[in-house]
Amino acid sequence: MTLHAAEPAAGASTQAGPREPVPPSRAALRRADRRRRFRRDWPLLLMVAPTILVLGAFHYLPLLGNVIAFQDYSPFVGILESPFVGFANFERLFGDPDFWRATANTLGITAFQLVFFFPVPIVLALLINSLLSARLKLFIQSVVYLPHFFSWVLVITLFQQMLGGAGVVNNFLRRNDLGVIDLMTNPDTFILLVTAEGIWKDAGWGMIIFLAALSTVNADLYEAAAVDGANRWRRLWHVTLPALVPVIVLLLIMRLGDALSVGFEQFLLQRGAVGVNASEVLDTYVYYEGVVNGDFAYAGAAGLFKGVVGLLLVLGANKAAHLLGQQGVYSRS
């Protein structure tokens, strides 16, 4: 201690440059800083740990499990022992008409919903935004959000009770000798049914983000437009819609990125009623090939194909958002 204390004084008196302590290197500083920050922040890390563990075990570990797509996987020997077969599973997959039918169904449903489902929340938001009474607004919002919190089983059960063969609508029609309409089991109108269910369940919820965008519009803009002689429709066109465009573009792009995901439960639950031809989508195809038929490697290949194409679509969609000058799903920073 005393030696150290004496040394700087001695150095200072002689003014010798080389005697001064060497400044620690940048890497050493960074290491020291990291150690210091770790000592300060370890409680935070401890808090994150359980989540990271769960995500590691049930998200990142299974990610590695995708190698079975390239294996002749057998559940008896496991992933580590199963022989690799290259792209054989994918070759079989791409030669399978059932797979292409599932892909076509999936894309068809996405396209149909883009046209008929996507605009509904926007229209609903405009409608609710045009109401003057705050109380009425809140009431309607509460009502239309509600079905979002019902399970698909429940939604489909309700639809069956309303539109099914013994449902309210058909009972009414029968009673008045108007014949019956077959909606719940008709493969030809399945796409309509699925979209209607989707709208019933989630259109109100989808409205939230548009309402938020509308609430940011400056009321002065409307007044200025009105003073300039714009009637209500022109104000809608020139003031309201431009405020919604960024959100619309963002959601549209996100939906396109999700083109291969149309949901699972809705199709699984109605597969029995309308038949495989109309209701098989990629998700249910993977489930039936893998878990039901036990063909894990083949289904794994189908799932990996869907995952990789889906990821590319999301990345591409985000790129498109950047190119259009929108913020996108995530920023590049």
Q: Which of 79, 76, 39, 74 is nearest to 63 (CA)?
A: 79
Single-letter code of the amino acid located at 131: L
Q: Is 21 in the site for another protein (CB under 8 A)?
A: no
Q: Which is nearer to another protein, 211 or 276 (CB)?
A: 211
Integer-rounded Cα radius of gyration of the chain: 30
Only segment of 51-59, 94-102, 186-194, 238-246 that touches another protein (CB under 8 A): 51-59
Q: Is 160 in the site for another protein (CB under 8 A)?
A: yes
Q: How many positions of this chain bind another protein (CB under 8 A)?
A: 96
Only segment of 8-16, 89-97, 105-113, 140-148 that touches another protein (CB under 8 A): 140-148
Query: In the bound complex, what is the minimum distance in angstroms from residue 10's beta carbon to another protein?
Result: 39
Only segment of 11-19, 58-66, 103-111, 236-244 that touches another protein (CB under 8 A): 58-66
C-alpha 191/C-alpha 112 separation (Å) is 8
Q: Is 30 in the site for another protein (CB under 8 A)?
A: no
Q: Which of 184, 125, 122, 188 is nearest to 155 (CA)?
A: 184
Query: In the bound complex, what is the minimum distance in angstroms from residue 49's beta carbon to another protein?
Result: 8
Q: Is 249 in the site for another protein (CB under 8 A)?
A: no
Measured torsion, CA atoms of residues 121, 159, 112, 319, in degrees rounded to the nearest 10: 50
Q: Is 50 in the site for another protein (CB under 8 A)?
A: yes
Q: Which of 219, 254, 255 is nearest to 326 (CA)?
A: 254
C-alpha 258/C-alpha 203 separation (Å) is 17
Q: Is 314 in the site for another protein (CB under 8 A)?
A: yes
Task: Using the structure block, give the residue that is written with the tokens 């008709």.
Answer: 186
Query: In the bound complex, what is the minimum distance in angstroms from residue 227's beta carbon to another protein?
Result: 7
